[in-house]
Amino acid sequence: MSNKQTRAPHPDRSEHASGAADRPADAAWRADADPTAGPAAMAAEVELAMSDLVGDANGEVVFFNDSNLRRLAITTDSAVVANGRAGAHRTAAGQDVSGFRFVTFDNGLTLYYQTGLDVVLRGAR
């Protein structure tokens, strides 16, 4: 069962379209990365399913990279509807994510993460 929600963009977020032509060259996320693409593929990586991400009252999740991981892979069938760098913003849980990168999915969830982390999106298996 799918629970798709339509969400208006948050006023504190810089929005970018999710199409490949609209994606900024320095975007810190990418879809379906080739795991055999070279030395970067051997970097420390954690893989989570979209269902592992539990949002706050506004559907926001913050990934603090205290372990200095290089890559975070997320398995999902949800499409990216916006991405970019957050302006001045606090989540409903009170976390300051100003300047964090973010990815918003069509299921209403927004993931904030610190610069320097490579977020890779993989289709569900």
Buried b (16+ CB within 10 A) or exposed e, 21-59: eebeeebbbeeebeeeeeeeeeeebeeeebeebebeeeb
pLDDT digits (tens, 9 = 90+) for 24-52: 334 455 555 444 444 444 455 889 999 99
pLDDT score, position 71: 92
Please tell me the predicted confidence (pLDDT) of residue 1: 42
Residue with more model confidence, 17 or 118:
118
pLDDT in tens, 61-101: 999 988 888 999 999 999 999 999 999 999 999 999 999 99
Q: Where are the domains of the chain?
A: 25-122
d(CA 47, CA 120) in angstroms, rounded, equals 9
pLDDT value at position 24?
39
Identify which of 99, 53, 94 has the alpha carbon closest to the alpha carbon of residue 72.
53
Instruction: Using a cut of 0.75, tell me whether the model's pTM lies above it.
Output: no
105 vs 67, which has greater pLDDT? 105
If DSSP states are collapsed to H, E and C, what string results for 38-49? CHHHHCCEEEEE
